[in-house]
């Protein structure tokens, strides 16, 4: 069982940025959609990938451990196919499975699916939620950058130890563009998961979208499984 961290968050920003935050929180509360999944969605291909020693070996670049895992497998052919898939995941997403991706992007291995407290004030939003073992600093930083909010966080572990974090947006310009970039990235990933990268490529092709169009808004096509799209 993991030790849980209680995160008491005070978010401040413009009324528009706080409204955006509340829409995400409301969707989590009412529909059970993960909080960070709405901000920086984990690709479905990784979410269904088992996290084990083979995945860790590929993630860390331990070639010998990966080969030993395949050799000791009761089904070497299937394990070899999985090894190929894990390597492809690492090239496309920078992570072999959901565990490493979420740690790299959110800072925690599990999403937030509920809140002990949600309070909207005129100039701030107050939230209380739990995360396993640590504060999701990377996920909160992405939220700050995307929404234009700043977060003051009081952390408390199960032993009663306390610590504070202050998260401010890295970007002070083009927040609106950054917000819509994240929305577009999420839509592309969801569509790719629903219809497959090949069909999504055809959709983008018909719409006249090319890799240089995505690059213009700093979206890496390979990062969302769209390596097949041609410029």
Query: Is residue 54 scored above 50 in pLDDT?
Result: yes
Residues 112 and 129 sit within 8 Å (Cβ to Cβ): yes
- Distance CA(63)–CA(34), nearest Å, equals 34
pLDDT-derived band at 10, boundaries 50, 70, 90? very high
Q: Which has more confidence, 42 or 175?
A: 42
Q: Tokens 């949600």 correspond to what residue?
A: 118
Phi and psi for 10 in degrees, rounded to 5? -115, 115
Q: What global pTM score does this model have?
A: 0.69
CATH code, 4-40+106-167: 3.30.70.1270
pLDDT tens for 69-126 read: 888 888 878 888 888 889 888 988 889 999 999 998 999 999 998 899 899 988 899 9
Q: Which has more confidence, 230 or 147?
A: 147
Q: What average pLDDT does the segment 51-69 reach? A: 85
Tell which residue, 153, 150, 155, has the closest CA to residue 123. 150
Structure token digits, residue 61: 């670049």
Domain-by-domain residue ranges, the chain?
Answer: 4-40+106-167, 44-105, 175-224
DSSP H helix total and E strand total for the chain = 11, 5
pLDDT tens for 176-219 read: 565 566 666 666 666 666 666 666 666 666 666 655 555 444 44
β-pairing, 4-12 vs 150-156, is antiparallel
DSSP state of 229: -
Structure token digits, residue 19: 């409204």
């Amino acid at each position: 069982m993991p030790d849980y961290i209680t995160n008491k968050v005070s978010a401040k920003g413009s009324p528009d940025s706080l409204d955006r935050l509340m829409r995400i929180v409301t969707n989590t509360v009412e529909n059970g959609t993960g909080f960070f999944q709405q901000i920086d969605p984990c690709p479905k291909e990784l979410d269904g990938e088992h996290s084990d020693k083979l995945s860790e070996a590929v993630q860390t670049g331990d070639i010998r451990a990966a080969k030993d895992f395949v050799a000791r497998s009761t089904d070497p052919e299937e394990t070899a196919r999985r090894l190929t898939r894990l390597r492809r995941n690492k090239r496309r997403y920078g992570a072999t499975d959901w565990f490493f991706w979420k740690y790299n992007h959110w800072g925690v291995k599990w999403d937030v699916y509920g809140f002990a407290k949600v309070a909207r004030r005129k100039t701030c939003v107050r939230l209380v939620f739990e995360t396993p073992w640590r504060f999701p600093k990377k996920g909160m930083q992405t939220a700050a950058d995307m929404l234009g909010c700043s977060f003051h966080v009081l952390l408390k572990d199960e032993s009663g130890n306390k610590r504070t974090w202050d998260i401010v947006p890295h970007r002070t310009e083009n927040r609106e563009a950054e917000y819509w970039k994240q929305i577009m990235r999420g839509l592309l990933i969801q569509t790719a998961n629903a219809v497959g990268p090949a069909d999504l490529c055809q959709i983008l092709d018909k719409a006249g979208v090319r890799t240089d169009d995505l690059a213009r808004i700093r979206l890496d096509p390979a990062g969302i499984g769209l390596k097949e799209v041609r410029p």
